[in-house]
Amino acid sequence: MFTPNIKESWMQKPSQPLLDRSVPDFTAFTSVEDWLSAIKMSQYRENFLNSGFTSLQLCMQMTSEDLLRIGVTLAGHQKKILNSIQSMRGQISQSASALA
């Protein structure tokens, strides 16, 4: 049987957030196709490749204007892709810092 103090501390949320499993590990992707598939945007695969965005390094430089230019016109899809690009930049810079 738990005493009130132990039970309260046991039920508290962790002080630091747990790993967010909804965010893919971008450092594991080797292709634009893998990345788009992971974020459920593979319908734009041909748009990216035909427009010259053939590497993740190129994709990480994309802007909302680039997305419009290659045919990603739905605002929700633009936001999802841009948020993913921002997360990818953060993960890549963190892994580079860890190696330094």
Domain boundary assignment for the chain: 29-99
Q: Output the six-digit token pair for 84.
A: 């993913």
- How far is 78 from 72, CA to CA, in rounded Å? 6
Would you state the pLDDT for residue 93?
A: 80
Burial class (CB in 10 A: 0-12, 13-18, 19+), 85: buried
Query: Quick check: 30 and 54 in contact, CB under 8 A?
Result: no
Would you state the pLDDT for residue 29?
A: 85
- How far is 47 from 55, CA to CA, in rounded Å? 13
Q: Does domain 29-99 have CATH number 1.10.150.50?
A: yes
List of the chain residues with pLDDT < 50:
9-10, 13-20
